[in-house]
Amino acid sequence: MKVTIGQINTTNGDINGNVEKILAAIEKARSAESDLIVFPEVCIHGYTSQDWFQDRDIIHAALDPLSQIIPKTEGITAVLGTIRPNESPDGRRLFNSAAVISNGELVRFVDKTLLPEYDVFDDPRYFEPETEPNGIVEIARRDGDVFKLGVVVCEDFWNDKTFWRERLYEKDPTDIVIENGAELIVALNASPYNKGKIGVRCEMVSHRARENRVPIVFVNLVGGNDGIIFDGSSLIADEEGDIILQASSFEEFVETVELDVRKPDARGITGNELESIRRALVLGIRDYARKNGFRNAVLGLSGGIDSALVAALACEALGPENVLCVMMPSPFSSEGSITDSEKLIRNFGCEGRMEPITDTFEVLLRQMALNKPTRGGEVLAAENMQSRIRGVILMAISNAEGRLLLSTGNKSELAVGYCTLYGDTNGGLAVLGDVLKTEVWEIAGHINKHDGRELIPQVIIDKKPSAELAPNQFDQDSLPPYELMDPILRMYLEQKASPAEMIEAGHDPDRVYWILNKVEHPSNEFKRRQLPPTLIISKNAIGIGRRRPITHKYRRSRSPK
């Protein structure tokens, strides 16, 4: 039996464009004499379209696109993710479904049972769950033999009691199709990328196939939608648990394999998490720009590592000819902030522009009767004014030239509020908003190593971090060293660890509580609420993956001994 992975890059609401991709993939599968092609979750309408799933017009016309797809399935079976109306007067108005279409006929819908509402997911807001799951569908192969196909939608596959130490649900729809004799399991997914997840998916699919002696086709969405990045990395495991077809990560993939080929395929697994993060961020920038109608981007280039890395990623995503780096020196800018930036611009071949802010800064100091800082923290209003002047210049260029403004702040700074609202937080997309400072250095080093030369000048990577908003100002004057702060932030934000667990892991108690109270302070929650969409590479990322009130009185304190 031949099976095709239909790993496509969809756009929320671009129903005609998404259907075109589905039809093209079906035709390619048919030309390969495939029996079955499988597509990702909600690939017709886009996942996730959020409250568009509550729009009456969307609900009313939910099934219309299938009329274009059904006639194109002569001689092949297609399983694809869609939405369908809930005809009952009770419950949510839609089901999240897999449509099983074969030989020009709609055979059946299989509705999603387990609806996640953690991290970036909010399925119960939109969808009614299937209460009696049994996704067994009988399908004829090209040779006329009938076989039992077990169909599950995303979360319905992720609840294997023999794989996960802790489970969120009592039911396991995949166990049900196995118990009912599924000869092949197909799982339709929209599983976002985050660090380490590609390998876990492979282990999960391989484990279930091997334990139950049943082949599994696991197809995942690819592409960036807002800040959520889907990596694809679809795969097919045979009944031995061997991966016999591994889709490339971070790109579209339509390819066919014979199920009994018995030939391991690991091409989609790089084994290098830094490379995966780089590719995720590049895809996130490219798709956010392309899907929102931008061809060109602009960013402020400070001579520091964060803006240098954003420039590198943007040049790869959009082409260096479409990236403008703006240098905006102030009275406190070091000579290296310009010379190092100019070197980086030459290395990448992108456009550079100089827009000094000293004169404007001096005028505003006089107008606002503010003193010029002589040391860091002395006149915060004057320090922040420089960042805001830069923000005004960058937004003016964005408006005048139709460029997407890329924000360059990293996750460590944004977490503890070491950023200026309406200044360096300006932008249409926060590229590094989910990348810790120590990860920024690691990715920059990886890019140079991968390219075999100093694309990002080593002097920038080695430079001591500084906002350069006051004389001799360095980040560590205001913050713990990033090497000590980032592990605490990672435990708190990505692992949801408690202060006690952080201290037990060896972190200084005073530092733990200082950092957590900075992260959770209302003024910093207020700043983060106004950030641009952030490219997400981790669990519980700042923004959609982490929800906190601005107004609150929670404060962390050490319990008395």
| Positions marked catalytic | 41, 112, 154
Query: Rounded CA gap, 560 and 214, in Å?
Result: 56
Can you tell me the distance from the alpha carbon of 128 to that of 170, in angstroms, rounded to the nearest whole number? 17
- E strands, 427-540, in order: 429-430
Q: Which residues contact 87 (CB under 8 A, 6 or more apart)?
A: none
Query: Helix crossing, 305-318 with 437-451: angle to 10°?
Result: 50
- Amino acid type, 8: I
For the chain, how many helices (H) and strands (E)?
A: 17, 19
| Contact present, 278 and 537 (Cβ < 8 Å) | no
Q: Quickly count: other Cβ atoms within 10 Å of residue 509's Cβ.
A: 12
Residue 308: HSE in the Cβ half-sphere, 13 Å Cα cutoff: 33
Cis-peptide, bond into residue 48, ω within 30° of zero: yes
- 482 φ, ψ to 5°? -60, -30
SS3 content of the chain, % helix, strand, coil (to 5): 40, 20, 45
Q: Report whether 9 contacts 252 (CB < 8 A).
A: yes
Q: How many CA atoms lie within 13 A of 442 on its CB side?
A: 16
3-class DSSP assignment, residue 220 = strand
Sign of the CA dihedral 372, 378, 382, 384?
positive
Q: Which two tokens stand for residue 86?
A: 């809930």
- Please enumerate in sequence order all residues whose Cβ is within 8 A of that of 198, keeping only pairs 6 or more positions apart, or say none: 231, 233, 249, 268, 269, 276
Which region holds residue 33: left if phi is over 0, alpha if psi is between -120 and 50, else beta?
A: left
